[in-house]
Amino acid sequence: MLIDQEKDVESFCLFFREELAGEVLRTLITSTNDLLTDPYRERDTVNFFEKTYCISPILSEQLESFKNQIPVLKHDELWMEEKYISIMQTLLIEHLNTYKEIENLHALRKSTREELYRRISFAHDYVRAYYNKPITLNEIARSACLSPNHLLRNYASLYRKTPFQHITELRIEKALQLLSRPEWNITEIALEIGYENPVSLTKMFRKHVGVSPSQYRKKVILAKT
């Protein structure tokens, strides 16, 4: 796993037992009556979509609590099982929410929509990974094994923005972070986030933020004094 950060970061990985996702999913989607009638019914396998998920405040809190308590309670099997079930439930709720997104895609068959969702998710992750590079629509489409037109139409349906709009959003977000750091000049920031020159950055930044990068930096400096 590659984590692109300037500072050292700490990773935290959980490994669930194989059957847990199916067991927890059944309690989420099965009626109470059926659960009482047949509590030990064989569980279906859960196939999570291979994509980058945004972490929710609930999941973040659960993971932080789990991490902090592990040194003391790691040998308590009851506590561990409860925590794993609670975290899996949160993950599955997010997983189920993806099916609402899938309904926005243009395809008649459910299996086709799911495959299309997987491919658009690949493109989405590609954009997030290479937004600071001069990537083209064809390159993004190839990462998802889709034609450029097919990608563009469904990317916009799913994310309510085109790849270009998404790249611009990510670049502006990164520029805002770097502008608060005085060791970065405007030219360096422009090149760092994928623009060929500071003029291109200034035009796009003013369009989306309402002021130039230099003006924004002055506001940040004044706010700190």
Q: How confident is the model at residue 2 (pLDDT cuts 50, 70, 90)?
A: low
Instruction: Note the pLDDT of residue 206.
Output: 94
Q: How confident is the model at residue 8 (pLDDT cuts 50, 70, 90)?
A: confident
Instruction: Note the pLDDT of residue 28.
Output: 86
One-letter identity of residue 132? N
Work out the average pLDDT over 21-36: 84
The structure's pTM equals: 0.71
The C-alpha torsion from 94 through 96 and 100 to 101, rounded to 10°, is: 50
- The answer to whether the beta carbons of residues 151 and 144 sit under 8 Å apart is yes
Q: pLDDT tens digits for 54-82?
A: 788 999 999 999 988 988 888 888 999 99
Q: pLDDT tens digits for 139-149?
A: 999 999 999 99
Mean pLDDT over each residue of the chain, to the nearest integer: 88
Helices (H) and strands (E) in the chain, counts: 11, 0
Work out the average pLDDT over 179-192: 93
Q: What are phi and psi of 194, to 5 degrees?
A: 110, 0
